[in-house]
Amino acid sequence: MGRFEISENALEKIAESLREEYEGSNVDYVIEDMKISENGEYLSVLIRDDYDSRFLHLFDAKGSPLPGWKSGVGIPCQEDVVIFPGVENVAVFMKCGTGEITLYPFQDENPKENALRVTFSRLPIYVSLTNMERVVIFGDMRLDFNAPGDIETVFIPRLQGGYAFFHAIYDTEDEVYILHTFKEPGKRNPVLRVGRINYPPHPYYSPLEFWDGVETISAHSPAPPTKGAIGDIILRDNEPIAVLGTKLGKELYILTPKKARIIPLPGELVFTKFTEKGLFLLIGQFRGYLYGGFVTYEDLLGKSSLKLEDIEDRTVFGRYNPEAVDPKFSGISRNGNILVLGKSSGKISASGRFYYYVRPDSNYLYSYVSTETIQGEEEVTYDQYTQLEEVLKRFGGIILYGPPGTGKTKLALDLSKGADRVEVVTFHQSYSYEDFVEGFRPVEKDDKLIYVVEDGVLKRLAVEAIFHGLHPNSGETDYEKKKEVVLNYLQTGNGTFKSRGKFYLIIDEINRGNISRILGEVITLIDPDKRLGAEYETRITLPYSREPFALPPNLYIIGTMNSTDRSIAFLDMALRRRFAFLEILPRPEELGDIEVGGVNLQHLLSTLNRVIEEERGKDYTIGHGYFREVIKAKPEERAKALKDVFYYKILPLLQEYFYGNWETIRRSLPGFGFIDEKGRIIEMDDDEFIEALRKLVTEK
């Protein structure tokens, strides 16, 4: 038994090596692609800078650059580039011009000079490097290519009137097995099948003759969609086993010589690959987590469905966000010991092309570690409430910040349930020290207007909390009597105070008020070590009443702020030092698997936020709370509720965010059709609206 753990040392070494190489150039760079070799010994990393220059780097599994690879090898192509790590070489397919495949040796101090190249007369449709390091080429019969004698090739001709889409290839000394979707000329439906090609292939004079010679080992009809297909094939006991699913799909196609079938998965498929330990699966669950582990070959071939419990060595890789995981940035070595799992994002290149890259905050390299017992499930029980309680207990005050609609106020209110007392206030420009702590208020007495000192919300709550710590079982007591007892304790020290109960002060929109003016000298007392009974207990004399005052440790302060209104960077530094800060970001998984007209709300929110974060930053993303009314609505009323939320809340936000820059959102979201080129919201009927949403979440 075992689990995957972050390879921290290797990640630090790789990051340091890349910083040394690129920081002096004053050009930002990202990891555009990365692949682990079959044996798990080498990691290929493709770097792309802001000028669209690319460099290939090679590291060992411990994070050290290989000899000759420290400065990387320049990849002279600004079109798509695909890397295929083999056993002794890494192949780079450049889709520039007519295309070229270059094989760079892993262990060579001059990889660029000793590379082998395959050139083409026209761009092939598909290329790959097999586990035997043969180059597979799929293209038109008129395609000519030039390969050195050291490189073995397998050319597969395109069949006119039909098509083939390749998912995975497994190579032996004498045979090549291909998992592909195939449509014969004149046939209506494509078939998913495993085909076998002899090596070297028998002579043929036409594409039809070649494909007639491909032996079908297993097939399933109809075939699943090819878009987002994720599959692999392996030879076990001299028989091929193939699997195929789709990204975000919940089914897995299994093809063997004896049978082809479909089995349900315990979540959405992210990645899969055969290893010596079994079939490795990455599965994401809505409103849940991302799991990874192995399914034994016996379970894979014998069970009619897979449950989470069937995944052995199960590891939890954090919250599942479909938009942040990509099969492109996932891979595992054949022995199952080295895992690559990067979170993805996207950007527009200098040449105007959109591409995905590995997020810099992504811990993308993991190692398999044997353990006596698996503790992975315990990680799932650690939720936001647990985190908030621990932070509050340690610091006494916390500010929840993030985009609007992320549930900050609700989180604070939910946490305060069961407290002895809760007070909620909202800061604004007119809110003052006199409202919050104490101040003069006009009172009519004997037909005269006089001014008396009146306690504010903080002082009143502090009195309640201290009194509870002095007399927890006093029952109902008038506030003035409680205050008299508390003042006597603060002045004389008579009595024993113990921190009992919980008293919460929730300050909504804390950043909208003048913090320094509202808190005044009380800001000093917020520190945990200056509260009653603490090491540096501090008591002050208030300016209006001249009464002593202190903050007890059982009074917890929770502030909320929308980061779109004012960045936390502009908050008073004294406030920043005395409060803990917890960022609350949108959680699309909170929307579950609810669909409206075939549109999944989680995917819709993730799609919108991806673009907003890229163009405006995470502070401007849309919170899951915007869709709360849709979730609460009856199923037959959800379409109307979604349309209202979209037209009266979300679209006005997008109008503001992208004012005067409408092309940006249409370029990033090709299916977006709700705002015209002049920034006007386009009215639609219900059917048009749902169809527009479908295009928004499906078109790339």
- Confidence tier at 33 by pLDDT (50, 70, 90): very high
561 lies in the same domain as 597:
no
Residues in the chain: 700
Q: How does pLDDT run across 194-219, given as a tens digit for each residue? A: 999 999 988 888 999 999 999 999 99
Looking at mean pLDDT, say which of 54-58, 375-379, 628-632, 657-661 comes out highest.
Answer: 54-58
Mean pLDDT of the chain: 89
Domain match, 674 and 548 both: no
**pLDDT exceeds cutoff 70 at 377:** no
Range among 149-153, 382-386, 618-622 with highest mean pLDDT value? 149-153
Question: Average pLDDT in the 346-358 region?
Answer: 86
Q: Which of 560, 583, 606 is the last residue of a domain?
A: 583
pLDDT at 373 exceeding the cut of 50: no
- The pLDDT tens digits of the residues spanning 407-446 come to 899 889 888 888 899 999 999 989 999 999 999 988 888 8
Residue among 455, 392, 457 at smallest CA distance from 423: 457
Query: Are both 562 and 601 inside the same structural domain?
Result: no
CB 606 within 8 A of CB 588: yes
User: How confident is the model over 611-631, as pLDDT tens digits?
Assistant: 888 788 888 899 999 998 999
Answer yes or no: is pLDDT of 78 > 90: no
In this prediction, residue 454 has a pLDDT band, given cuts at 50, 70 and 90, of: very high
Q: Judge whether 393 lies within some domain.
A: yes
Quote the percentage of the chain above a pLDDT of 90.
56
Residue 226, domain member (yes or no): no
> Among 182, 248, 172, 245, which residue's Cα sits nearest to residue 210?
182
Task: Determine the average pLDDT of the residues in 348-366.
Answer: 87
How large is the C-alpha radius of gyration of the chain? 32
pLDDT level of residue 382 (50, 70, 90 thresholds): very low
324 or 275, higher pLDDT: 275
Is residue 696 within 8 A of residue 671, CB to CB? The reply is: yes
Residues 427 and 305 in one domain: no
- pLDDT above 80 (res 169): yes
Looking at the domain assignment, is residue 185 inside a domain? no
- Residues 534 and 663 both lie in one domain: no
Q: How many other β-carbons are positioned within 10 Å of the β-carbon of residue 533?
A: 12
Average pLDDT over residues 553-563: 92
Give the residue-averaged pLDDT of 130-137: 95
3-state secondary structure of 644: helix
Q: Which of 331, 360, 380 is the last residue of a domain?
A: 380
Q: For residue 261, report the phi and psi dihedrals to the nearest 5 degrees.
A: -150, 170
Q: Could you give the percent of the chain with pLDDT greater than 70?
A: 95
Same domain assignment for residues 481 and 572: yes
Say what the pTM is.
0.58
Band the pLDDT of 567: cuts 50, 70, 90.
low
202 found inside a domain: no
CB of 465 closer than 8 Å to CB of 555: yes
Predicted confidence (pLDDT) at residue 349 exceeds the cutoff of 50:
yes
Q: How confident is the model at residue 75 (pLDDT cuts 50, 70, 90)?
A: very high
Query: At residue 171, does pLDDT exceed 80?
Result: yes
pLDDT tens, residue by residue, 242-265:
999 999 888 899 999 999 998 888
Segment among 220-234, 303-317, 559-573 with least mean pLDDT: 559-573
**What is the mean pLDDT of the segment spanning 10-16?**
93
Distance of CA 652 to the CA centre of its chain: 26
Task: Determine the pLDDT at residue 117.
Answer: 96
Same-domain pairing of 51 and 91: yes
* CA distances in angstroms from 599 to 651, 672, 689, listed in the order given: 17, 14, 11
Mean pLDDT over 577-603 rounds to 82
670 — pLDDT class (breaks 50, 70, 90) = low
Give the model confidence (pLDDT) of 473-485 as tens digits: 777 789 999 999 9
DSSP characters for 505-532?
EEEETGGGS-HHHHHGGGGGGGSGGGST
Q: Which of 328, 350, 380 finishes a domain?
A: 380
Count of the separate structural domains present in the chain: 3
Instruction: Report, as an integer, the average pLDDT of 587-609.
Output: 81
Residue 517 domain-assigned (yes or no): yes
- In terms of Cβ atoms closer than 10 Å to its own Cβ (0-12, 13-18, 19+), residue 361 is exposed
Tokens of 603: 């995917």
* Residue 122 belongs to some domain of the structure: yes
If one compares 568 and 24, the residue with the highest pLDDT of the two is 24
pLDDT at 375 (0 to 100)? 40
Question: Closest by alpha carbon to 623, among 403, 410, 399?
Answer: 403
How confident is the model over 161-173, as a mean pLDDT?
94
Domain check: are 405 and 545 in the same one? yes
Whole-number pLDDT of residue 2: 87
Same-domain pairing of 359 and 401? no
Cβ-based burial of 163 (10 A; exposed 0-12, middle 13-18, buried ≥19)? middle
* pLDDT of the residue at 700: 45
Q: Give the orientation angle of helix 408-415 with respect to helix 384-395, to 10 degrees.
A: 70
Q: Is the pLDDT of residue 230 over 70?
A: yes
The answer to whether 469 touches 520, Cβ cutoff 8 Å, is: no
Distance CA 203, CA 34 (A): 37
Same domain as 350, residue 486? no
Mean pLDDT, residues 4-29 taken together: 89
* pLDDT value of residue 28: 87
- In a shared domain, residues 349 and 489: no
Residue 423 is part of a domain; what is its CATH number? 3.40.50.300
Query: Can you tell me the distance from the alpha carbon of 558 to that of 516, in angstroms, rounded to the nearest whole number?
Result: 17
**197: in domain:** no
Which residue reads 């993303």 in tokens?
A: 621
Residue of higher predicted confidence among 694 and 526: 526
For residue 49, give its domain range: 2-158+265-380
- What does the pLDDT average to over 46-56? 92
Note whether residue 250 is domain-resident. Answer: no
Question: Over 90: is that where the pLDDT of 508 sits?
Answer: yes
- Please tell me whether residues 560 and 597 are part of one structural domain: no
